[in-house]
């Protein structure tokens, strides 16, 4: 036995020597013909080796670092059968103009084979303003659907059975209010909240970091999120209470490693705040979900998703003491990167989106949104929206990617990249901790500066043509004329919404409105869970703006110092 072991050690040594020698010889040959001037970097400006070999993964341990799908640390996927068991959910984010117009688009998408809904709200709704507020001027219905009262939510979901369809709502600062509205709409359909499935984005930290749609200061905002986590844990077993989002961080210019690190750091902050509230990590963690971007660097993205699962599983088990395997699993939605799309030769965006979608699927996403080709010009037209959905259907049915789980697992390159991104994220966690945590980093502007710096480097690479973007800084068509249909939002939307608010105000009981709003204010002062109070306000047709203001009376507002 000892002899066999020695022999095997000797052959290991022989193999390593042979490998090193072969590597030297290959490098000498490659260096003679490679373009030494060009920098080879990922879309995150991270340098990449020309070749990956067993040397790059020599520290990897199969069971510790990869294991089987559905097994800790889930590097290869959270489910044992992955897409053979359940295909990813095709969920196209959409919403525009009036609630009626959005309802029409939803019926259309569902009739074309989409699995679930994903609501895009307009900016006034995202910021907690009613459509008739002076600050809403020009913004109503422009980048999503306008919602002012329960009346609008009833129209959006008219004829859609909320017991059967899952809905994702992209809303953050006023997320608790929209969840309350959704619950009451379902209640009116006769569907109780324990039957509702879907996801509330509800991630305010990434708003301070990247998308900048907040109302209150960070601390009360996070407490409001803990309210929804607590409420959902008790009453909505099928609901994802939060979608901790890297997408917007990436869109704001981050690298892949920053996207991963800042998103997970945000997630850990919510987990810590929920534990502080007295919740048991295994009660709420199984309903936490994540949301990442799929950018153009195919392999880097796949490595990012794999690293995300591994980091999360380890932290949840080892740092937060979660015992339920479901608490260890990082489940995520992916959207292809809007910032990778271009206004020039917009049909090329179909190609970009297909490649990005493929990386998300190879990375084991649970659901996917593929962007429409016209998104740098306007909200998607019907045709562009349909093509985007069809792109996913081609991926699912024609390419064979659903057949095999984690097909790139074991690739020297992808494994090395997975470990490298994990290490980069860990370094950011240390830096964030050193600076006092995510909330302190936000108030100090550290995370915002990191993003701005990465975005500037990326743009400089494009301006200097170190990075080629087809149709933008090379292969440009002179005097290009855009020849795809553009969706125009009817300027009448604003007037229609204002009329709808008037109508709601004429049918409601003003006394009950005032009472429920005051009860909400009191719940904010007493730091009670705000969800039941919001549900009462919604039932009385309080407007979104009224509810936001009532809470602002107690919480105050927040202004970010301008950071370049």
**Surface-to-core class of residue 23, CB atoms within 10 Å of its CB (0-12 exposed, 13-18 middle, 19+ buried):** middle
In the complex, least distance from residue 296 CB atom to other proteins, rounded to whole angstroms: 15
With contacts defined by CB under 8 A, name the span among 82-90, 218-226, 433-441, 449-457 that binds other proteins. 449-457
Assess 467 for contact with other proteins (CB under 8 A): no
**Surface-to-core class of residue 338, CB atoms within 10 Å of its CB (0-12 exposed, 13-18 middle, 19+ buried):** middle
Assess 560 for contact with other proteins (CB under 8 A): yes
| Ranges within 250-289 binding other proteins (CB under 8 A) | 251-253
**Surface-to-core class of residue 532, CB atoms within 10 Å of its CB (0-12 exposed, 13-18 middle, 19+ buried):** middle
In the complex, least distance from residue 137 CB atom to other proteins, rounded to whole angstroms: 6
- Nearest Cα residue to 175 out of 195, 201, 196: 201
With contacts defined by CB under 8 A, name the span among 2-10, 21-29, 439-447, 454-462 that binds other proteins. 454-462
Assess 129 for contact with other proteins (CB under 8 A): yes
With contacts defined by CB under 8 A, name the span among 127-135, 153-161, 216-224, 411-419 that binds other proteins. 127-135
With contacts defined by CB under 8 A, name the span among 72-80, 119-127, 267-275, 413-421 that binds other proteins. 119-127
With contacts defined by CB under 8 A, name the span among 158-166, 313-321, 437-445, 481-489 that binds other proteins. 481-489
Q: Long-range contacts of range 52-59, CB-CB < 8 Å, 24 or more positions apart?
A: 52/411, 52/412, 52/413, 52/416, 53/19, 53/23, 53/412, 54/19, 54/412, 55/19, 55/20, 55/23, 56/412, 56/413, 56/415, 56/416, 57/412, 57/415, 57/416, 57/419, 59/419
For the record, the structure tokens of 97 come out as 């103009």
Assess 308 for contact with other proteins (CB under 8 A): no
Q: Are 336 and 296 in contact (CB under 8 A)?
A: no
Cβ closest to other proteins, residue 31 vs residue 474 = 474
Q: How far does Cα 365 stand from its chain's mean position?
A: 11
For the record, the structure tokens of 48 come out as 């990449």
- Nearest Cα residue to 384 out of 513, 248, 487: 487
Cβ closest to other proteins, residue 34 vs residue 482 = 482
Give one DSSP letter per residue of 532-545, joined into a string.
HHHHHHHHTT--HH
Give the per-residue contact string, 371-410, with other proteins (x = CB under 8 A; - = no).
-----xxxx-------------------------------
| Ranges within 502-541 binding other proteins (CB under 8 A) | none
Assess 493 for contact with other proteins (CB under 8 A): no
Q: 47 has which bridge partners?
A: 41
Give the per-residue contact string, 73-112, with other proteins (x = CB under 8 A; - = no).
----------------------------------------
Assess 447 for contact with other proteins (CB under 8 A): no
For the record, the structure tokens of 172 come out as 């953050």
Distances (CA, A) of 527 to 15, 181, 518: 65, 21, 14
Distances (CA, A) of 322 to 2, 286, 327, 468: 42, 10, 6, 45
Q: How many residues bind other proteins (CB under 8 A)?
A: 47
Cβ closest to other proteins, residue 126 vs residue 151 = 126
Pick from 130, 148, 203, 207 the residue near other proteins by CB under 8 A.
Answer: 207
Phi, psi dihedrals of residue 385, rounded to the nearest 5°: -65, -40
In the complex, least distance from residue 197 CB atom to other proteins, rounded to whole angstroms: 29
Assess 127 for contact with other proteins (CB under 8 A): yes
- Whether residue 73 is preceded by a cis peptide bond, meaning omega within 30 degrees of 0, is yes
Three-state DSSP class for residue 157: coil
In the complex, least distance from residue 54 CB atom to other proteins, rounded to whole angstroms: 40
For the record, the structure tokens of 479 come out as 């005097």
Which H helix or E strand runs over 369? Answer: strand 367-369
In the complex, least distance from residue 141 CB atom to other proteins, rounded to whole angstroms: 9
In the complex, least distance from residue 145 CB atom to other proteins, rounded to whole angstroms: 13
Pick from 137, 351, 495, 499 the residue near other proteins by CB under 8 A.
Answer: 137
In the complex, least distance from residue 482 CB atom to other proteins, rounded to whole angstroms: 8
Cβ closest to other proteins, residue 96 vs residue 551 = 96
DSSP 340: G
Cβ closest to other proteins, residue 349 vs residue 391 = 349
Assess 139 for contact with other proteins (CB under 8 A): yes
- C-beta atoms surrounding 197 within 10 Å: 17
Cα(342)–Cα(352) distance, rounded to whole angstroms?
10
| Ranges within 7-66 binding other proteins (CB under 8 A) | none
Cβ closest to other proteins, residue 126 vs residue 222 = 126
Pick from 472, 513, 549, 554 the residue near other proteins by CB under 8 A.
Answer: 472
In the complex, least distance from residue 508 CB atom to other proteins, rounded to whole angstroms: 26
Assess 135 for contact with other proteins (CB under 8 A): yes
Give the per-residue contact string, 325-354, with other proteins (x = CB under 8 A; - = no).
--------------x--xxx----------
Contacts with other proteins, residue ranges (CB under 8 A): 123-124, 126-127, 129, 135-139, 142-143, 207, 211-213, 251-253, 339, 342-344, 376-379, 451-452, 455-456, 459-460, 462-463, 469, 472-473, 482, 486, 489, 559-564
């Amino acid at each position: 036995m000892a002899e066999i072991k020695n022999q095997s050690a000797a052959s290991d040594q022989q193999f390593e020597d042979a490998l090193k020698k072969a590597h030297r010889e290959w490098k000498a040959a490659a260096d003679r013909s490679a373009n030494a001037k060009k920098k080879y970097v990922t879309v995150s400006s991270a340098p990449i080796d020309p070749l990956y070999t067993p040397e790059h993964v020599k520290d990897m341990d199969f069971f510790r670092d990869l294991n089987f799908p559905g097994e800790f640390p889930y590097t290869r996927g959270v489910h044992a059968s992955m897409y053979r068991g359940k295909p990813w959910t095709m969920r196209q984010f959409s919403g525009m103009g009036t609630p009626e117009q959005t309802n029409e688009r939803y019926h259309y998408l569902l009739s074309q084979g989409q699995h679930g809904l994903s609501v895009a709200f307009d900016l006034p709704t995202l910021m907690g303003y009613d459509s008739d507020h002076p600050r809403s001027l020009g913004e109503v219905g422009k980048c999503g659907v306008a919602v002012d009262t329960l009346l609008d939510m009833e129209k959006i979901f008219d004829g859609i059975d909320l017991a059967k369809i899952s809905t994702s709502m992209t809303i953050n600062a006023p997320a608790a209010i929209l969840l309350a509205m959704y619950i009451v709409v379902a209640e009116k359909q006769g569907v109780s909240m324990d039957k509702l499935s879907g996801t509330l984005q509800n991630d305010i930290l990434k708003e301070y970091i990247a998308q900048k749609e907040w109302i209150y200061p960070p601390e009360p905002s996070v407490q409001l999120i803990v309210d929804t986590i607590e409420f959902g844990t008790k009453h909505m077993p099928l609901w994802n209470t939060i979608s901790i989002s890297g997408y917007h961080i990436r869109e704001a210019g981050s690298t892949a490693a920053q996207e991963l690190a800042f998103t997970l750091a945000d997630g850990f902050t919510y987990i810590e705040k929920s534990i502080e509230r007295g919740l048991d990590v295994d009660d709420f963690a199984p309903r936490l979900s994540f949301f990442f971007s799929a950018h153009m660097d195919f392999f880097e993205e796949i490595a990012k998703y794999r690293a995300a699962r591994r980091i999360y599983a380890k932290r949840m088990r080892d740092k937060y003491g979660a015992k339920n395997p479901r608490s260890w699993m990082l489940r995520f939605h992916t959207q292809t990167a809007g910032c990778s799309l271009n206004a020039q030769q917009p049909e090329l965006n179909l190609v970009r989106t297909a490649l990005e979608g493929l990386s998300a699927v190879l990375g084991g996403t649970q659901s996917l949104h593929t962007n429409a080709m016209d998104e740098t010009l306007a909200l998607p037209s019907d045709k562009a929206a349909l093509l985007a959905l069809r792109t996913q259907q081609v991926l699912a049915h024609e390419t064979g990617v659903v057949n095999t789980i984690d097909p790139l697992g074991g690739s020297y390159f992808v494994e090395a990249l997975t470990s490298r991104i994990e290490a980069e994220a860990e370094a950011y966690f240390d830096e964030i901790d050193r600076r006092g945590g995510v909330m302190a980093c936000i108030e100090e502007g550290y995370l915002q500066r990191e993003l701005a710096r990465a975005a500037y480097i990326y743009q400089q690479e494009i301006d200097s043509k170190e990075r080629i973007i087809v149709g933008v800084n090379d292969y440009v068509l002179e005097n290009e004329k855009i020849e795809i249909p553009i969706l125009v939002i009817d300027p009448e939307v604003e007037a229609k919404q204002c009329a709808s608010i008037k109508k709601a105000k004429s049918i409601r009981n003003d006394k009950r409105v005032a009472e429920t709003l005051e009860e909400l204010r009191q719940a904010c002062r007493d730091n009670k869970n705000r969800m039941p109070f919001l549900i009462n306000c919604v039932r009385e047709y309080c407007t979104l703006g009224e509810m936001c203001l009532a809470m602002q009376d107690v919480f105050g507002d927040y202004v970010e110092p301008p950071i370049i």
